[in-house]
Chain A
Amino acid sequence: MKNVFSSTSKKNVTILGYKTAGKSTVIEQLIENKILRERREETHGSKTREIKIQLGDKEHEFRITDIGGSELYQNMFWKADVAKSDGVIYVVDSSLLNECKGLQKDLGNWVESEEYCPNYQADDKIIKCNCPENEMFRGSRRAKAFAFSILDLGKPILVLLNKADLQENQRIYTEDEIIKLYKLKTMVAHNIKITPASALTGENIFESINWLFEQME
């Protein structure tokens, strides 16, 4: 049996985000340095792993907890896990809006809208569009709002604008647009880094994790 203190001294990282944002894929990329699984299923609960990764000259051993992104698991696990974590990775599916024509049409007004509010008029505009991405996007924004409401200002937050690799041949949302769409700038008080990334290809994953470790040290 392991000593209690030896295991609890490891850094704890929690990975949050709405369902299908790519949280589990990020972890697989971290563990395997490549993506093995051709097909994924939604995470029904939480998965905690102790892993080691090599970043430059340093080897980091830490515990990472992947939590299902549906509302059920947001309510069940997010708050408690965030409270125990030394750092948080928040994953956004940046390709979510690519096929939502209605949203794209209104995007110009949208990104200039007021602070995030679930009842804001901009949301009503989206409801008129029947794209499935609309519901996903609204859920994603609610999840982000909830996540950031429980985050401790003192903890570093890495926001990965995931699935950057999927934007080829589609409307490319700029980093700035995504930040506005998700109201990420309202979180400037946090120790936050926002970066495009692809869990699938590994783009920016390790570099940005390195930032997180620097902040946690």
Chain B
Amino acid sequence: MKNILTYRCKICSEEYHLNLKEISPIEAPTVNTSNSALIPAPRMKVKHNIYYQNHDTHTMQLELNENYEITTTKKINKIQTILDTLVRSNYDVSKIVNSILENTENPLKPLILFISDLQTYRSFFSSLIKTYIQETQEICFTFKSNVLSTEHRNLKFIITTLEGGMQSLKSPDKIKLCDNRYSKLIPKSIVFDLVSSENENEFINQLKKGKIKLPDDVKVIVAFDTRKSKNPPLAIRSFLLDEIGLKHVDLLNYQDTNGLKSVILQSYYNILDNPNEGRDVYELIDSYL
């Protein structure tokens, strides 16, 4: 069995590739769709289904019923178009980033990050950080905080996993969360993605020892998944509130319908002065997640 599925745009004939190894079966939706090779819409969920239903086939050539606009659209003026492009380009980050950066008037740059299921969300961030944040230096979404450097001191918002936090701790030459040496890096909002009880314990130990310091007014989201985390989220919340002294802690559930969307929206609201700024975002995310 080959691990790459090839998608071909029937208009421009450009090929896109989907690496099956990068798709976690855990994250795949269980909704069945037709076995037809014709994809109704080139979205990740559909690809997951193809993976399950055709996993014993070799490289497939699939017709798409929509054109890939990115191959023909160089100038992107509307967020909707950006989002469409993101989905249709098979999450090709470099293409998207380049397209966005070409459009200097794009008012909602950070929002492009919020479109995916969890698995893609991760890989998307990993790729994106290398290009996007180094250009904007405004907002950082990362699962590997150790890639941050002094160049990113204007960041307002950090998404990291405990794993990312641990990595930064183990790399003393790299920046640490809220390190005093980089005072401008103090985030307004942090999302902790609890997926490993080992990392949770280590993270809590480091907090207890004072090796990780969080600003009192930081808005923290603990995004949990009881299938993957052994620590009850309530215990973690109590720790953050009672022992660390945080004032704003959300426990949000990835497992719930729209749970990821809730994490994304809440994290975005946390950095807004006026929550209504996020209304357009909601509409867009609602249609894509």
Q: Taking beta carbons and an 8 Å cutoff, which residues of A are in contact with B?
A: 1-4, 6-8, 36-39, 41-50, 63, 68, 70, 72-73, 76-77, 80-81
A48-B279 contact given A36-B274, A41-B265, A72-B253, CB 8 Å threshold: no
Given A41-B265, A43-B262, output 19 extra A-B contacts at Cβ < 8 Å: A1-B213, A1-B245, A6-B245, A7-B241, A36-B274, A37-B276, A41-B261, A41-B262, A45-B224, A45-B233, A47-B251, A48-B241, A48-B248, A48-B249, A63-B241, A68-B256, A70-B256, A80-B234, A81-B234
Interface flag for B252 (CB, 8 Å): yes
Q: Which residues in B have their C-beta under 8 angstroms from that of A39? A: 276, 279, 282
Nearest chain A residue, comparing its CB with the CB of B273: A36
Partner of B276, one of A3, A8, A38: A38
Interchain pairs with CB closer than 8 A, number: 76
Task: Kindly state the separation between the CA atoms of A190 and B262 in the bound complex, as whole angstroms.
Answer: 35
19 A–B contacts from the bound complex (CB under 8 Å)? A1-B210, A1-B243, A3-B245, A4-B243, A36-B274, A37-B276, A38-B276, A39-B279, A41-B282, A43-B262, A45-B224, A45-B233, A45-B259, A47-B249, A48-B249, A50-B248, A63-B241, A73-B253, A77-B234
Task: Kindly state the separation between the CA atoms of A170 and B250 in the bound complex, as whole angstroms.
Answer: 37
CB distance from A167 to the nearest CB of B (A): 26
Chain A interface secondary structure, helix, strand, loop or mixed? mixed
Q: Which residues in A have their C-beta under 8 angstroms from that of B245? A: 1-3, 6-7
Whether A49 contacts B282 by the Cβ 8 Å rule is: no
Q: Which residues in A have their C-beta under 8 angstroms from that of B274? A: 36
Q: How large is the interface on B (under 10, 10 to 19, 20 to 34, 35 or more residues)?
A: 20 to 34
Q: Which residues in B have their C-beta under 8 angstroms from that of A8? A: 242
Q: Mark B259-289, 1 if CB is under 8 A from A, else 0.
A: 1011101000000001110010010000000
Q: Which residues in B have their C-beta under 8 angstroms from that of A45? A: 224, 233, 250-253, 256, 259, 262
Task: Kindly state the separation between the CA atoms of A73 and B256 in the bound complex, as whole angstroms.
Answer: 10
Q: Which residues in B have their C-beta under 8 angstroms from that of A42? A: 258, 262
